[in-house]
């Protein structure tokens, strides 16, 4: 995962590389000699540019959609742990206090251990241990009154949801775009920029500006895809604010 300054460096190097390629190309194949081939190059650039734009836009939409799903899943997980805490009030002793204590400990552990570990691209285990303890405690409940039976049933439902959202969060933290798709994005960007550089223009300064803008846009989108593709790492990541709010709710 690149840091913010590394992202800026990657963008700058991409633009500089594009300008350097264009300069070398102009030395080897002068623009005035390429004028006769502009019809062919222009047709090729139009097809390549359109195809690559569709691929790039689709990838950006996909990772942004996955990021939104990861953010929503974290919200649902935090809501589930608060619901478990509140439903525990209807359970008999001693499970009532044990479940409430475990729910608060779960939120603390997610904030203090899970999020830093996911930021370091590690699979968190501490919250899983607490989740298992919650299941053991809840399954040991011996209900008597109808109210306790209802509370236990709701607690099982919310704990099931909590476990499911946690598993989904772990999957989302380790999922990446396949390498083959990154090859398509990078090779497609190189080919598209190279095609734009081969266009024979009478105004070299204007052509250079166009290539700079073209390569800048492609580099920015690729960096955005790389950052958003990891929803729990990097400068753009899912916040633990939902669990901070859950902490406050369980302390009230």
Residue 236: the pLDDT is 86
pLDDT tens figures, 215-232: 999 999 999 999 999 999
Number of domains the chain contains: 1
**Residue 2 pLDDT exceeds 70:** no
Rounded CA separation 59/186 (Å)? 12
Rounded CA separation 252/246 (Å)? 10
Angle (CA) 165-167-171 rounded to 5° is 115
User: 21-27 contacts: CB < 8 A, separation 24 or more?
Assistant: 21/193, 21/194, 21/197, 22/197, 22/207, 22/208, 22/211, 25/197, 25/198, 26/204
**Residue 29 pLDDT exceeds 90:** no
Residue 45: the pLDDT is 80
**Residue 182 pLDDT exceeds 80:** yes
Domain containing 190 equals 4-251
Q: What is the mean pLDDT of the chain?
A: 91
* Contact assessment for residue 213 and residue 173, using Cβ atoms and an 8 Å cutoff: no
pLDDT tens figures, 110-156: 999 999 999 999 999 999 999 999 999 999 988 778 889 999 999 99
Say which DSSP state 92 is in: P
Residue 123: the pLDDT is 92
Residue 1: the pLDDT is 60
- The two structure tokens encoding residue 204: 């070299």
């Amino acid at each position: 995962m690149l840091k913010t300054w590394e992202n800026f460096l990657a963008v700058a190097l991409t633009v500089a590389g594009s300008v350097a390629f264009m300069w070398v190309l102009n030395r080897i194949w002068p623009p005035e000699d390429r004028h006769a081939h502009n019809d062919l190059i222009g047709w090729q650039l139009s097809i390549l540019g359109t195809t690559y734009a569709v691929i790039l836009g689709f990838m950006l939409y996909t990772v942004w959609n996955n990021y939104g799903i990861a953010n929503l899943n974290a919200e649902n997980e935090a809501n589930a742990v608060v619901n478990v805490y509140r439903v525990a009030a209807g359970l008999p002793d001693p499970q009532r206090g044990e479940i409430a204590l475990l729910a608060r400990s779960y939120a603390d552990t997610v904030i203090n251990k899970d999020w830093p570990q996911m930021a370091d691209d590690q699979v968190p285990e501490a919250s899983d241990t607490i989740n298992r303890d919650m299941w053991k405690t809840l399954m040991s409940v011996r209900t008597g009154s109808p109210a306790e039976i209802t509370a236990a049933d709701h607690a099982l439902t919310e704990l099931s949801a909590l476990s499911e959202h946690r598993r989904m969060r772990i999957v989302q933290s380790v999922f990446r775009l396949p390498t083959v798709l990154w090859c398509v994005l990078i090779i497609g960007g190189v080919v598209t920029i190279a095609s734009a550089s081969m266009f024979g223009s009478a105004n070299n300064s204007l052509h250079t500006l166009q290539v700079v803008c073209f390569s800048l846009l492609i580099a920015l989108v690729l960096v955005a895809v790389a950052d958003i593709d990891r929803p729990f790492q990097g400068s753009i990541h899912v916040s633990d604010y939902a669990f901070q709010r859950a902490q406050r709710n369980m302390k009230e």
